[in-house]
Homo-oligomer: A and B are copies of this chain.
Amino acid sequence: MMDRKNKNTPAITPDPNALAIADVPARREFLRKSGLALGVGTAAALGLGGRAFADTGAATTTPASSNLPPNVPEWTRALGMPTASPYGAPSTYESDVKRNLYPGLKDTMSAYSTSPLQDLDGTITPNGLFYERHHAGVPQIDPAQHRLMIHGLTETSLILTVDELRQFPSVSRIHFMECSGNPSFLPPWGKTAAEVSGLVSCAEWTGVPLRTLLEEVGLKMEAKWIVAEGADGAAMTRSIPMEKCLDDVLVVYSQNGERLRPEQGYPLRLIVPGFEGNTHIKWLRRLHVTDAPGYTREETAKYTDLMEDGRARKFSFVMECKSIITAPSGSQQLTRHGKHEMRGIAWSGRGKITRVDVSVDGGSNWYPAKLQEPVLDKALTAFRAPFEWAGQELMIMSRAIDETGYVQPTLQQLIETRGSVSFYHNNSIQPWKISHDGEVTNGRA
């Protein structure tokens, strides 16, 4: 704790014998020296597979800044803002890091907004930046008035309040969620990682296994599907096969520790790990146990995959293995030659990611990226790989492989299989082009 008498006096640098920053020789000299000081042994210690990260120096070729900080910066000479902002917010310097409507959208009721993937690190998406997809806007639900009904081909029926649901045995699991139209097969292609693939996010969900609730009501022999209905103005309704419902589906009330945000289904939503986001019914009010799918509007007119012969793949639930490089990515800029780190995320609706390969030459040659532990089932997995840029044109890309052995395809491979009129479930490899001047653009454009 700080002494009260010190409150309005300048802070004291605790170690008076330490070099003050202004006493140090010019920064350019340090950076040159630091580059020289690093050898091959260092790169090996970093686990870069023999590729030295900084043998030309991460910082050595960076233009030296001319505005060195003063010995004691202004914010060290004053008191800051008070403790205990009830909830807090990101720094005002980060105000550009936000959700945006999907490019070209104007409607805000049946609409989607993207996670700013190019500005995020790691695998957890903060709740404020988790992607949104609504069909009739975001209802503002009083949790005391909300009910979840479970009925149909069951031994008994159940109507639960939120508080009652919270009394069942609970679990917490980290899972990704992805919209099936992330992105569509059709141009125009997005410019940034958010525009290309920002309808994917990941969180720790807490709730009750659906299996527990189904054991509570008892299933009849004919029970094969559950038709789940939301309490929004679209009464969004999707059918989930019973096998999945008894496996890993959750009825959740919390996301990343706190109660669900309104736009994520407050007070209750279904989590259907690995299935397309549209099945994760928000504002969940009803689970109707049936012997057949509901064939609802959102699984007939929408969320099916039209093939070139006019037929459509339906109930194409699983989000197949996919990855995207988020840094460097479209609209970013490399500012120096030398070693860089390629960063991205990978995920699979069928389980764990086992490997991510990256390429800098448009897919002619691949080398493995490092996966961030822990690698979790149906969760975003961060990957990182070193690459070097000396001003030449590069086409960087990543391809993910999951525990079933499935390999993320190219767009061309997808089109060969599914035709070019399909809309959903484009999990193809995303190329980013780095130009001679370091500008990064969509390699598909």
A233 is an interface residue with CB less than 8 A from chain B: yes
Are B30 and A156 within 8 A (Cβ)? yes
Are B73 and A145 within 8 A (Cβ)? yes
Given the known inter-chain contacts A82-B137, A99-B84, A128-B89, please indicate yes or no for A212 contacting B46, CB distance below 8 A: yes
Q: With A and B bound together, what is the CA distance between A159 and B260 in angstroms?
A: 42
Given the known inter-chain contacts A149-B24, A159-B27, A374-B376, please indicate yes or no for A78 contacting B341, CB distance below 8 A: no
- Scoring A53, A127, A203, A254 by chain B CB atoms within 10 A of each residue's CB, the highest score goes to A127
Cβ contact of A111, chosen from B83, B142, B151, B372, cutoff 8 A: B83
Are B84 and A132 within 8 A (Cβ)? yes
Complex contacts, A443 vs chain B, CB 8 Å: none
Given the known inter-chain contacts A157-B24, A227-B15, A340-B167, please indicate yes or no for A80 contacting B215, CB distance below 8 A: no
Are A30 and B212 within 8 A (Cβ)? no
Q: Which secondary structure dominates where chain A touches chain B?
A: loop
Smallest beta-carbon distance A103→chain B, Å: 12
A104 is an interface residue with CB less than 8 A from chain B: no
List CB contacts (< 8 Å) of A95-128 with chain B.
Answer: 97-101, 108-113, 119-128
Are B110 and A86 within 8 A (Cβ)? no
Q: With A and B bound together, what is the CA distance between A372 and B374 in angstroms?
A: 14
Interface string of A339-358 (1 = CB under 8 A from B): 01101000000000000000
- Scoring A12, A138, A288, A302 by chain B CB atoms within 10 A of each residue's CB, the highest score goes to A138
Smallest beta-carbon distance A247→chain B, Å: 13
Smallest beta-carbon distance A257→chain B, Å: 4
Given the known inter-chain contacts A69-B146, A109-B2, A237-B14, please indicate yes or no for A266 contacting B91, CB distance below 8 A: yes
Are A206 and B288 within 8 A (Cβ)? no
Question: Chain B interface: which of A169-177, A392-400, A403-411?
Answer: A169-177
Q: With A and B bound together, what is the CA distance between A123 and B124 in angstroms?
A: 12
Residue of B with least CB distance to A379? B374
List CB contacts (< 8 Å) of A135-174 with chain B.
Answer: 135-143, 145-147, 149, 151-152, 155-161, 164, 167-172
Are A257 and B168 within 8 A (Cβ)? no
List CB contacts (< 8 Å) of A74-97 with chain B.
Answer: 75-94, 97
30 chain-A/chain-B pairs, Cβ below 8 angstroms: A2-B233, A7-B109, A14-B227, A14-B296, A18-B288, A19-B151, A19-B157, A21-B149, A31-B158, A36-B156, A37-B218, A42-B216, A67-B145, A75-B141, A78-B233, A80-B136, A80-B139, A81-B140, A83-B108, A83-B137, A85-B99, A87-B128, A88-B263, A122-B205, A123-B257, A126-B257, A128-B128, A169-B341, A169-B384, A374-B376
